[in-house]
């Protein structure tokens, strides 16, 4: 029998809130984390605004040792460690002593690690000073630096790896971790992702003209998912992490359960039928969402809330249309939909996990965070769904049971995960069922 | 620079990398960076770089191999400074 998988811990480092409680406050208040950067202006960026989490030197020292922070410039690894360690602690877990946690691992994704370190190294290399790179240039620039640092700090002994699928990375990580636990190959996994910040990460997007250049004077209004005046995404950064574990394990150690991961789907549009390196094949997007429903044995009508990809480009109406087709619902029958990117921008490889943390927090604590910056709803979206389905104020409700979270990335890749509200009472009977089948206790930790 | 000063300088260089505080209190010429101070072997290259900066010298690969102990490091530094 495949294992049920629940979420027992969350951690987040977001542009509008570092740490769970700050983040939740910001979500409910619709607080923007987008600011103006003179440095980008000096480099002649068209888009000079972005989202960067506020992390002081003192805060860094709560997560990494002075030795680890020596010559350390990899913001993505820092965000991964902070979010991952917070999630682990939030799940009531401690750091391993001599013996690693053989049944716990992590799948922590990123698009790239240590671009600042890479730049620094390049200068040294090109001036014949290869040895000046020191001991940690590799650890800080390897993609798997994010999972390697985190795994070492906690002492994870199961699979420790990094996935990378552009802006779908974070959502994909959750599904990869889910599948591993479901298959009985691990009892517990940290699933997450992070994205670095700065000109060396964002420059390529600026060159593609996909970021907005119209809001350098009005940064907090720059990220406008679903708006008629959406003019490109605003770059963000940060990290999010979720501790996923078997239901048995969570119940056995009395861990508070945030939500259940029902599963989901990933696929690719093959860069065919309108899909390209940078644009999604709509048929693939619809198939991914439908497959997610099928895999989790729910129907389109069961989805109460969509946590969209919705980046604030001209493609937002297409995404909404894809949801209407995949769920078979439109107009007033469409579920609520929101995009966190209106507050924090597009955190790229970090987006899927930060947005999933927001989705799970909302499920657990009974609120739908608001969409900001789309008072002027795009007419193509208004033609597809009822405007009331796009909340502009926080809605407090316990009625949301199923959230569908999707992310789409360069390379025409898609990921959709389904979260379900955890109801102890409703699950009581299931719990007994679980106990019956739970014959061999896994010797763990 | 006399012996004591040199040992103190090396202690200062090694300090960020040590993982055995007690052993660090009793550093002698015989102290081994990895075995006694529990320094991660990967960090030895950082100690070499910091030594180069501190004494404004260049340390070659074969010389680095001698720098596993305080004594070995002192010999390398002294020979460079006297060269």
Q: Give me the count of residues in chain B.
A: 83
Exposure of A203 by Cβ count < 10 A (0-12 exposed, 13-18 middle, 19+ buried)? middle
| Number of neighbours of residue A379 by Cβ within 10 angstroms | 10
Query: Using CA atoms, how far apart are residues B46 and B25, in angstroms rounded to an integer?
Result: 21
Per-residue pLDDT of chain A in tens (445 residues, 90 and over written 9): 789 999 999 999 999 999 999 999 999 999 999 999 999 999 999 999 999 999 999 999 999 999 999 999 999 999 999 999 999 999 999 999 999 999 999 999 999 999 999 999 999 999 999 999 999 999 999 999 999 999 999 999 999 999 999 999 999 999 999 999 999 999 999 999 999 999 999 999 999 999 999 999 999 999 999 999 999 999 999 999 999 999 999 999 999 999 999 999 999 999 999 999 999 999 999 999 999 999 999 999 999 999 999 999 999 999 999 999 999 999 999 999 999 999 999 999 999 999 999 999 999 999 999 999 999 999 999 999 999 999 999 999 999 999 999 999 999 999 999 999 998 777 765 554 544 444 333 334 3
**Beta-bridge partners for A14:** A17
Q: List residues of chain A with CB under 8 Å from any CB of chain B.
A: 66-67, 70, 131-132, 134-136
Contact between A84 and A190 under an 8 Å Cβ cutoff? The reply is yes
Query: Using CA atoms, how far apart are residues B80 and B59, in angstroms rounded to an integer?
Result: 8
Q: Do A67 and B17 touch (CB under 8 A)?
A: yes
Q: H or E segment at A267?
A: strand A259-268
| DSSP annotation of B43 | G
Contact between A360 and A7 under an 8 Å Cβ cutoff? The reply is yes
CA dihedral A214, A216, A218, A222 (to 10 degrees): 60
- How wide is the angle at C-alpha A366 spanned by C-alphas A361 and A370, nearest 5°? 75
Q: Which residues of A touch B17 (CB under 8 A)?
A: 67
Residue that the structure tokens 């990290």 belong to: A239
Query: Using CA atoms, how far apart are residues A141 and A146, in angstroms rounded to an integer?
Result: 9
Q: CA of B25: how far to CAs of A70, A221, B5, B21, in Å?
A: 22, 57, 15, 7
Q: Give pLDDT, residue A43.
A: 98
Please tell me the distance in Å from A136's CA to the nearest CA on chain B: 8
Closest CA to A166 of A349, A318, A367, A351: A349
Q: Do A131 and B45 touch (CB under 8 A)?
A: yes
The two tokens of residue A440 are 């061999």
Q: CA of B44: how far to CAs of A151, A270, B50, B54, B58, in Å?
A: 23, 47, 10, 15, 15
Q: Which residues of B touch A67 (CB under 8 A)?
A: 16-17, 43
Chain A residue with CA closest to B39: the answer is: A67
Strands A367-368 and A238-246 turn out to be: unpaired
Q: Do A66 and B46 touch (CB under 8 A)?
A: no
Closest CA to B33 of B75, B70, B76, B71: B70
**Count of CB pairs separated by less than 8 Å, A with B:** 20
Any residues with CB less than 8 A from the CB of A333 and at least 6 apart, and which?
A: none
Query: Using CA atoms, how far apart are residues A335 and A389, in angstroms rounded to an integer?
Result: 6
Q: Do A70 and B46 touch (CB under 8 A)?
A: yes
CA dihedral A98, A104, A110, A116 (to 10 degrees): -10
Strands A305-307 and A49-51 turn out to be: unpaired
Q: List residues of chain B with CB under 8 Å from any CB of chain A.
A: 16-17, 40, 42-46, 49
Q: Give pLDDT, residue A246.
A: 98
Please tell me the distance in Å from A274's CA to the nearest CA on chain B: 49
Q: Do A135 and B16 touch (CB under 8 A)?
A: no
Query: What would you report as the CA-atom Rg of chain A, rounded to the nearest whole angstrom?
Result: 21
Please tell me the distance in Å from A71's CA to the nearest CA on chain B: 10
Query: What would you report as the CA-atom Rg of chain B, rounded to the nearest whole angstrom?
Result: 12
Any residues with CB less than 8 A from the CB of A282 and at least 6 apart, and which?
A: A269, A273, A274, A275, A318, A321, A322
Q: Do A134 and B46 touch (CB under 8 A)?
A: yes
Please tell me the distance in Å from B6's CA to the nearest CA on chain A: 23
Q: Which residues of B touch A136 (CB under 8 A)?
A: 42, 46
* φ and ψ of A6, to 5 deg: -125, 165
Chain A residue with CA closest to B49: the answer is: A132
Q: Do A135 and B43 touch (CB under 8 A)?
A: yes
Q: Do A66 and B16 touch (CB under 8 A)?
A: yes
Handedness of CA A356, A357, A362, A365 (dihedral sign): positive
Residue that the structure tokens 């861990």 belong to: A255
| DSSP annotation of A440 | S
- How wide is the angle at C-alpha A387 spanned by C-alphas A374 and A26, nearest 5°? 45
Closest CA to A355 of A313, A412, A403: A403
Closest CA to A404 of A351, A344, A363: A363
Please report which confidence band the pLDDT of residue B1 belongs to, taking 50, 70 and 90 as the band edges.
confident
Q: Which residues of A touch B43 (CB under 8 A)?
A: 67, 135
Q: Give first-to-last CA distance, chain A, whole Å.
A: 23
Residue B49 has its nearest CB partner, among A66, A67, A134, at A134
Query: Using CA atoms, how far apart are residues A3 and A369, in angstroms rounded to an integer?
Result: 31
């Amino acid at each position: 029998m495949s294992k049920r998988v629940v979420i027992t811990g969350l951690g987040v480092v977001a542009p509008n809130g570092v740490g769970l409680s700050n983040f939740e406050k910001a979500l409910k208040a619709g607080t923007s984390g987008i600011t103006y950067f003179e440095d980008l202006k000096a480099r002649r960026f068209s888009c000079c605004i972005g989202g960067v989490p506020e992390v002081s030197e003192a805060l860094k020292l709560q997560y990494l040792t002075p030795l680890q922070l020596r010559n350390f410039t990899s913001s993505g690894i820092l965000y991964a460690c902070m979010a991952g360690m917070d999630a682990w602690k939030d799940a009531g877990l401690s750091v391993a002593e001599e013996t690693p946690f053989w049944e716990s691992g992590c799948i922590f994704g990123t698009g790239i690690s240590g671009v600042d370190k890479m730049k620094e190294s390049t200068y040294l290399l090109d001036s014949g000073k290869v040895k000046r790179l020191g001991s940690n240039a590799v650890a800080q620039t390897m993609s798997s630096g994010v999972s390697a640092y985190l795994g070492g700090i906690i002492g994870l002994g199961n699979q420790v790896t990094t996935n990378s699928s552009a802006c779908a990375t974070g959502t994909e990580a959750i599904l990869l971790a889910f599948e591993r636990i479901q298959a009985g190959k691990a009892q517990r996994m940290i699933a997450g992702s992070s994205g670095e910040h700065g000109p060396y990460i964002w420059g390529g997007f600026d060159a593609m003209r996909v970021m907005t250049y119209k809001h350098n004077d009005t940064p907090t209004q720059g990220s406008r998912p679903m708006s008629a005046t959406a003019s490109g995404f605003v770059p963000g950064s940060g990290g999010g992490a979720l501790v996923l574990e078997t239901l048995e394990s969570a119940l056995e150690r009395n861990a508070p359960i945030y939500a259940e991961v029902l599963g989901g789907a990933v696929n690719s549009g093959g860069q065919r039928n309108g899909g390209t390196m940078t644009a999604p094949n709509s048929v693939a997007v619809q198939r991914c969402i439908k497959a997610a429903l099928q895999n989790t044995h729910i129907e389109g009508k069961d989805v109460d809330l969509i946590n969209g990809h919705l980046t604030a480009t001209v493609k937002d109406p297409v995404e909404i249309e894809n949801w209407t087709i995949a769920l078979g619902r439109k107009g007033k029958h469409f579920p609520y939909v929101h995009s966190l990117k209106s507050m924090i921008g597009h955190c790229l490889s970090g987006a899927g996990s930060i947005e999933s943390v927001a989705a799970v927090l909302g499920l657990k604590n009974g609120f739908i965070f608001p969409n900001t910056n789309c008072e002027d709803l795009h007419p193509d979206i208004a033609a597809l769904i009822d405007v009331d389905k796009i909340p502009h104020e926080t809605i407090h409700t316990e009625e949301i049971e199923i959230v569908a979270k999707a992310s789409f990335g360069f390379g025409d890749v898609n990921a959709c995960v389904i979260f379900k509200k955890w109801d102890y009472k409703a699950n009581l009977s299931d719990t007994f069922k679980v106990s019956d089948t739970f014959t061999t206790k896994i010797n763990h930790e | 620079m006399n012996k004591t000063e040199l040992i103190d300088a090396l202690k200062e260089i090694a300090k960020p990398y040590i993982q055995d505080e007690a052993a660090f209190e009793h550093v002698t010429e015989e102290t081994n960076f990895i075995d006694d101070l529990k320094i991660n072997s990967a960090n030895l290259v950082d100690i070499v770089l910091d030594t180069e900066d501190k004494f404004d010298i260049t340390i070659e690969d074969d010389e680095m191999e001698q720098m596993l102990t305080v004594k070995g490091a002192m010999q390398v530094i002294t020979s460079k400074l006297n060269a």
